Structure 1
């Protein structure tokens, strides 16, 4: 059965008090099908996850639709004196709300509540307001609370979480480029490109640009970030492409460089044109070169972009047996995890945690405990950045920070059976736009899966030595996975968080989607190979930064480094060897906050330990940092495009002391301030002691994306993957597999030639699936705008 063929990709816009839409048709068909009884037993699908009541209110939860509506109303109240215009009617010189979200909770306020009888901490919203109407226009962030809105609610500037010197203020030229700001530049680009339409039509197979709404336009334009260095200037480096679903893979060799400083479009100007790897400062020099025959296109982009589609290509043939349905993960016998959907709380095999969501960071985890003891207070993505290499204007200056593009709002519907196993638990995410709330359906999935390997096993040989074995023990392994996929422009980032039975947990990120490519030049292969008729795969780095606020048992932790060192030694029982090489472990502790890279050859072990707590053997209890695939950092450290705005991405690991004033490693508008960042991560490191203090570990995952022909049509998740694992390190007295019933114990009696088999009461369920025939074309789209008046 082809389920979720259209991905149920709808969102529903809601305001306070509006009920969610009914379950999508295809999902209902699936659940009905899996619930049917087969000929050989009961259904393999036994329903939803059991419910559990969260022990406390989820204080980290997003603000509600009602709170958003009330905050919006308060901000627009004349008494608040912000002089706001509705964004739909705003110009660059108006004041208007960009977005509203929840303010990060102060840990010092939360701990007394979740660990004792302290009061539930007050909740606040944060809002970015573009203030173009000021004498010095800027973007200013505000905090609004406590919530719900009442007479005691205040609106104050949100400055205390930023260290760049201007608090929550970002200069106009460095603020986010929204539709209002882009539209102010459109007339200049339209007139400029219209004037040279004869040149572009001749060079690019009829490619012309007369503006976004002109039917004659056959090109599309794009520009990236940064758009300023320090907020005192504004610029745009514009690349033109062929329009279509594969536009990212169809660039043409033409760039427009624009000076767009300030709020007055009459002062904007063209800095130059680039094509054929040559710069032309004005139209006359470009036209002279064209008329002299000095500009010509060696390669032509095909206008048919079907080669960029991820669909079935019959000409490729069918691999043997590929017409059969692929293996699937099924939670036989029912779900072994419990959920509180309202509190976004999960329990699984000793694990418990709360989840939250941010429009900029996506999903976040709080109060992560194993067998009742807290391991991590907060685990959250901080940034997903990419920096490109090249000599052409778009590639050479492109640095993306995906929180700038509100990564969380791009968590969209997951395809059941493909993105997540059939029968997974699906949760929605909600974010706020103006005075309404948008719900992305089924954007998070939760499921348990077989890891494919045992958790532990051993075959004990016969003491006589002449039998295959005398005893064999094996423990089955599985893991709970929480997953979401964010499609931010061209890339589909897949985030998986896995919780293992032994107390380990893992963070994984994968990247698929379109390359941001460049026009192909044979002499520029050092920046990437040719991957299509006129396309080069642009070399780039993906660096994703996470924050892990560890509380191993309590908040007094240390960062332990155990180095393997080579020593020369002699041993009296080997006198004939004299002195010979041996290796040993040298254990130290970081004394002060520090950023550092992983030791070569993996010859160092890193752990967060509590020196005041020991296991039964007297060893300090802790959690080990286990690097996995592709733990990297940014390649370039001194680029003008990422000089100070990307400090969080320049080392493998960093350890700081927790402060409520340092909740984020980056700012959502930092990308446009490479020389004067709003949030300078390097300033977190001010020689504070981190011995038995409240520690935060910042770690980077990512990929040096060595592009290849196999990135067409889209990059494959197989190779573009990065992982890190955190495992108990003397946290327990022994391995955490002794209390698991999913195991087998087999004994062979050589005297009687009998084998005994112990299943511990856990037998293989007898069940079946009966799926209906495919139902195509029925995947209703719900697009509802519901407006309510102010209370």
Structure 2
């Protein structure tokens, strides 16, 4: 029994009601199966060398944890079926990822048994001063008489396992918003041609109002509510803001004590609804056009027929089955030297663990930490708008993937389970795994007598998280040379601003006019990932290798050039925890080296952190008024820190509740601790961790209507081997061809069966003594006969798939990775 000595041990409560936007995606095939099976996939059963110690809880494990909490901790007065935000309940349970120090002996030192398995529980409870939410750890698993439930504090540098929930009853807020809208129905009818329908909020012709909360130091917060049209079923609500805003005093936790104050319209602030009505009656009152839905928000065009649309586009096929090996039970993957485990979490989605290449350690962990969007504007909504998307759940909002579209039809699709509100929720086919050949080569070379071309084939682990208006496609990509790439692409409806006709500012200060009554709103997307690098082992150093100009004197250059203007490499060791930005002119290499392992040439084995595609921004806003200390990781591009069991993440979903006093404060992690593990008296062992950001400075334009496009929003960071291998390891894995060119001195090929291995003289003679009978030599297998492919391999039939409705959050206080209650 847990003794609650103070509110430090309280379990917390929730806020919210899940408001649904009717989003439909397909459940396209039997769960856990590939939709097209025209080859023998994984004919040989493949087994992981070890247990996946990071795997999500099974349904039976989750049920046993829930049962244990109810049975052994009845004093918490929990209910299994909460009816309001004032009920105490278990919001959800999931795996508490084991500490790295408890795992490495099992992974790397042939330890006989895996680390203990524990569960993490988020529990909601109300107290006299309001609702709270807290984390607890339950274990060891399986549940026995020795299992315990303890406050989960050690991974939070705030020193507490809980936060206070600023909203007690989201349903009451919605009712308040509709009542407020009804009270000004005369104004909305006059200016917008519509009113709120409190009896039927889903009325496609009605208005809704949504709040942007602003926390205040005295407790509680102020709400600015903006009117929206529901979007006629198009899910385009964030493209349909209306130009009326109402300010609500929400400092009391009791919604019945809230009051409506100022109104804002067309650049003018009115002290009350009465003043607004008086101004509206003036014949000289300046109006703005209403923002009306229509075909312009449709994401599909079924009618246009430009030349070429009558034919289907090219597609990729995999006739002989996959070349990777996959243990579906343990979610372990092996492909051309790479090996890794896949796991998931409700807040952050897919993570990878124990990544190795050619048997050597590369990374212990690679995964999403947080996805932030921060807006700017001169109206009450856009002026302080920000989102931390793990609050809504990047994992639990990763829905089914569409075969042949999201991923190739031949991909392996993985199901995901998560456990909330006493139920196991099953999301089929929400992760895909596939090999793909790029439309550009890995390498090529044209010589005097031959041309060599090497195909660029890579492996991808993909998921798509739909958080309100955006769909984030997250890829972990593996290349044959040992390179890893993390790439995020976004598509969806922008969160737009109402266009103000009475414009007193510079026309394009925050965005552009993109429709009759709509303006774009500039914002930063900063998406944070963790890369726990273990380059050839746990002891690593980070250096900045700079390309710098220099004036140098060389004896061999005299007397013609007493001094030569040139450049050289200068290495700067990163000696303390720091945030680093991408260098000007790409003038530095960021390298993580092994402290004690070298390649055959005596060079330190390393990996380079390299900028990939798109932009890789950090937050433009300095000391964000809205974010406070909840996302300081967004202020630089790359961070290097000591790796600690007590600092497993850079952020937590509950930071959204208390941004000025977050449960994880990144500034307490990146606090300039020493990174010189060979220094006298240093207790640091050389195990460092990298946090890095991808994203975009997004200034939407007319091309973002109706949807932002993925090829313009892609952003990636790569981890590239740097002296990690003795030579390019892709040579032994890549597929390609060497073509002999016609000529009087054109000879044979290096590597032909008739050629003695390593005989340089023979090789040179064959290249110069005339043509050979061999015209092409392939390295790797080729397709050598025709293959009959069923139609489903080219175009899976969507007509045969069953649709299921998903609850998609509307990006307000209506859902979180920490706690919700849902009023049926």
Q: Report the TM-score when normalising by structure 1.
A: 0.88
Alignment size in residue pairs: 737
1:734 to 714, 722, 727: 727
Is residue 424–residue 447 contact of structure 1 (8 Å, CA) maintained in 2? yes
Question: Residue in 2 aligned with 1:770?
Answer: 790
Question: Residue in 1 aligned with 2:187?
Answer: 199
CA distance in 1, matches of 2:141, 2:602: 47
Is residue 540–residue 688 contact of structure 2 (8 Å, CA) maintained in 1? yes
- CA drift of 1:777 comes to 4.0
The answer to whether residue 26 in structure 2 is matched with residue 9 in structure 1 is: yes
The answer to whether residue 406 in structure 2 is matched with residue 419 in structure 1 is: yes
CA distance in 2, matches of 1:186, 1:8: 27
SS at match of 2:135: strand
Q: Report the TM-score when normalising by structure 2.
A: 0.85
Q: Kindly provide the CA deviation profile for residues 537-578 of structure 1, in whole angstroms up to 9, marking residues without a partner as x.
A: 111110000000011121111101101111112334253334
SS at match of 1:423: coil
CA distance in 2, matches of 1:637, 1:331: 49
Q: Structure 2 vs 1, CA of residues 406 and 782 (structure 1 numbering), >3 Å: closer, same or farther?
A: closer
Question: Residue in 2 aligned with 1:144?
Answer: 138
Q: Kindly provide the CA deviation profile for residues 456-501 of structure 1, in whole angstroms up to 9, marking residues without a partner as x.
A: 332332xxxxxxx2x4433322100111111110001011111111
Question: Residue in 2 aligned with 1:410?
Answer: 397
Q: Structure 2 vs 1, CA of residues 322 and 543 (structure 1 numbering), >3 Å: closer, same or farther?
A: same
Q: Structure 2 vs 1, CA of residues 47 and 230 (structure 1 numbering), >3 Å: closer, same or farther?
A: farther
SS at match of 1:393: coil
Q: Structure 2 vs 1, CA of residues 326 and 731 (structure 1 numbering), >3 Å: closer, same or farther?
A: same
Matches within 5 A, 1:579-598: 579-598=563-582
Q: Structure 2 vs 1, CA of residues 206 and 338 (structure 1 numbering), >3 Å: closer, same or farther?
A: same
Is residue 234–residue 259 contact of structure 1 (8 Å, CA) maintained in 2? yes
Q: Structure 2 vs 1, CA of residues 98 and 291 (structure 1 numbering), >3 Å: closer, same or farther?
A: farther
Q: Structure 2 vs 1, CA of residues 271 and 119 (structure 1 numbering), >3 Å: closer, same or farther?
A: farther
Q: Structure 2 vs 1, CA of residues 47 and 187 (structure 1 numbering), >3 Å: closer, same or farther?
A: closer
SS at match of 1:77: helix
The answer to whether residue 36 in structure 2 is matched with residue 31 in structure 1 is: yes
CA distance in 1, matches of 2:738, 2:195: 71
The answer to whether residue 350 in structure 2 is matched with residue 356 in structure 1 is: no
The answer to whether residue 245 in structure 2 is matched with residue 255 in structure 1 is: yes
Q: Structure 2 vs 1, CA of residues 222 and 189 (structure 1 numbering), >3 Å: closer, same or farther?
A: closer
Question: Residue in 2 aligned with 1:534?
Answer: 517
- CA drift of 1:322 comes to 2.6
CA distance in 2, matches of 1:336, 1:53: 15
Question: Residue in 2 aligned with 1:429?
Answer: 416
- CA drift of 1:207 comes to 3.3
SS at match of 1:117: coil
The answer to whether residue 618 in structure 2 is matched with residue 599 in structure 1 is: no
Q: Structure 2 vs 1, CA of residues 652 and 569 (structure 1 numbering), >3 Å: closer, same or farther?
A: same
2:559 to 532, 554, 575: 575
Matches within 5 A, 1:93-132: 94-115=87-108, 116-132=110-126
Is residue 229–residue 676 contact of structure 1 (8 Å, CA) maintained in 2? no
Most deviating of 446-455 and 370-379: 446-455
Question: Residue in 2 aligned with 1:278?
Answer: 268
SS at match of 2:55: coil
Is residue 229–residue 675 contact of structure 1 (8 Å, CA) maintained in 2? no
CA distance in 1, matches of 2:422, 2:565: 70
CA distance in 2, matches of 1:77, 1:259: 42
CA distance in 2, matches of 1:73, 1:228: 37
Is residue 557–residue 691 contact of structure 1 (8 Å, CA) maintained in 2? no
Most deviating of 619-628 and 266-275: 266-275
The answer to whether residue 326 in structure 2 is matched with residue 339 in structure 1 is: yes
The answer to whether residue 299 in structure 2 is matched with residue 310 in structure 1 is: yes
1:66 to 56, 60, 75: 60
Q: Kindly provide the CA deviation profile for residues 413-460 of structure 1, in whole angstroms up to 9, marking residues without a partner as x.
A: 111111111211111111112111111111111111112233233233
CA distance in 2, matches of 1:238, 1:85: 33
SS at match of 1:156: strand
Q: Structure 2 vs 1, CA of residues 390 and 64 (structure 1 numbering), >3 Å: closer, same or farther?
A: same
Question: Residue in 1 aligned with 2:533?
Answer: 550
CA distance in 1, matches of 2:278, 2:25: 53
Q: Structure 2 vs 1, CA of residues 485 and 229 (structure 1 numbering), >3 Å: closer, same or farther?
A: farther
Q: Structure 2 vs 1, CA of residues 683 and 293 (structure 1 numbering), >3 Å: closer, same or farther?
A: farther
Question: Residue in 1 aligned with 2:3?
Answer: none
Q: Structure 2 vs 1, CA of residues 454 and 78 (structure 1 numbering), >3 Å: closer, same or farther?
A: closer
CA distance in 1, matches of 2:250, 2:46: 55
Is residue 26–residue 402 contact of structure 2 (8 Å, CA) maintained in 1? no
- CA drift of 1:280 comes to 2.5
2:690 to 663, 672, 697: 697
Question: Residue in 1 aligned with 2:801?
Answer: 779
- CA drift of 1:770 comes to 3.1
2:477 to 498, 503, 509: 498
SS at match of 2:729: coil
- CA drift of 1:233 comes to 1.7
Is residue 446–residue 452 contact of structure 2 (8 Å, CA) maintained in 1? yes
Is residue 25–residue 399 contact of structure 2 (8 Å, CA) maintained in 1? no
Q: Structure 2 vs 1, CA of residues 303 and 591 (structure 1 numbering), >3 Å: closer, same or farther?
A: closer
The answer to whether residue 285 in structure 2 is matched with residue 265 in structure 1 is: no
CA distance in 1, matches of 2:694, 2:217: 28
CA distance in 2, matches of 1:293, 1:561: 67
SS at match of 2:391: coil
Is residue 559–residue 609 contact of structure 1 (8 Å, CA) maintained in 2? yes
CA distance in 2, matches of 1:540, 1:288: 36
Most deviating of 766-775 and 203-212: 766-775
SS at match of 1:737: helix
Q: Structure 2 vs 1, CA of residues 761 and 776 (structure 1 numbering), >3 Å: closer, same or farther?
A: closer
Is residue 208–residue 216 contact of structure 1 (8 Å, CA) maintained in 2? no
- CA drift of 1:763 comes to 2.5
Aligned alpha-carbon RMSD (Å): 2.5
Question: Residue in 1 aligned with 2:752?
Answer: none
Question: Residue in 2 aligned with 1:377?
Answer: 364
Is residue 193–residue 208 contact of structure 1 (8 Å, CA) maintained in 2? yes
Matches within 5 A, 1:746-761: 746-747=739-740, 748-749=746-747, 751-754=769-772, 756=774, 757-760=776-779
CA distance in 2, matches of 1:453, 1:217: 50
- CA drift of 1:46 comes to 4.5
CA distance in 1, matches of 2:46, 2:230: 50
Most deviating of 246-255 and 236-245: 236-245
- CA drift of 1:313 comes to 4.0
CA distance in 1, matches of 2:190, 2:25: 43
Is residue 201–residue 208 contact of structure 2 (8 Å, CA) maintained in 1? no
- CA drift of 1:610 comes to 0.8
CA distance in 1, matches of 2:42, 2:211: 45
Question: Residue in 2 aligned with 1:3?
Answer: none
2:660 to 651, 672, 675: 675
Most deviating of 289-298 and 370-379: 289-298
Question: Residue in 1 aligned with 2:618?
Answer: 633
Question: Residue in 2 aligned with 1:156?
Answer: 150
CA distance in 2, matches of 1:577, 1:301: 70
Is residue 389–residue 396 contact of structure 1 (8 Å, CA) maintained in 2? yes
Matches within 5 A, 1:180-329: 181-210=169-198, 213=201, 218-224=206-212, 227-229=214-216, 232-244=219-231, 245=234, 246-293=236-283, 295-304=285-294, 306-314=295-303, 316-318=304-306, 320-329=307-316
SS at match of 1:568: strand
Q: Structure 2 vs 1, CA of residues 187 and 479 (structure 1 numbering), >3 Å: closer, same or farther?
A: closer
Q: Structure 2 vs 1, CA of residues 131 and 279 (structure 1 numbering), >3 Å: closer, same or farther?
A: farther
